[in-house]
């Protein structure tokens, strides 16, 4: 799987980075909170190489499987530093006041 290509296609078909309010992952899924769920193109998402399934509910969950962390990292690179918050939030929580 080409992680960069998969990440780029997934991001495009959830409505672009402008449509992403929050982004995280679990052990097998990319989890998007979208500003407008109607901008997500589920059939196109399901056709992307590396995507096993898509579940729409309170989040748009894109099932990747064991390669989820690699695809997640590539999506974060495309979204920019605002979405790379895991490390930054931890650092902020541990910062002396």
Q: Domain spans of the chain?
A: 3-89
| pLDDT one digit per residue (tens) for the chain, 97 residues | 999 999 999 999 999 999 999 999 999 999 999 999 999 999 999 999 999 999 999 999 999 999 999 999 999 999 988 886 554 443 444 445 4
> What is the model's pLDDT at position 82?
82
Residue 16 exposed, middle or buried by CB count within 10 Å (0-12, 13-18, 19+): exposed
Q: Is 31 left (phi over 0), alpha (psi -120 to 50) or beta?
A: beta
**Superfamily of domain covering 3-89:** Glucose permease domain IIB (3.30.1360.60)
> What is the model's pLDDT at position 86?
53
Which pTM was predicted?
Answer: 0.85
CA distance 68 to 86: 16
Length of the chain: 97
| Catalytic (active-site) positions | 26
């Amino acid at each position: 799987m080409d992680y960069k290509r998969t990440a780029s296609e997934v991001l495009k078909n959830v409505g672009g980075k402008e449509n992403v309010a929050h982004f995280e992952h679990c052990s097998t899924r990319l989890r998007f909170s979208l500003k407008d769920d109607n901008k997500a193109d589920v059939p196109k998402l399901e056709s992307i190489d590396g995507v096993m399934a898509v579940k729409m509910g309170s989040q748009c969950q894109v099932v990747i499987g064991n390669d989820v962390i690699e695809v997640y990292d590539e999506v974060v690179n495309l979204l920019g530093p605002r979405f790379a918050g895991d490390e930054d939030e931890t650092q902020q929580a541990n910062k002396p006041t």
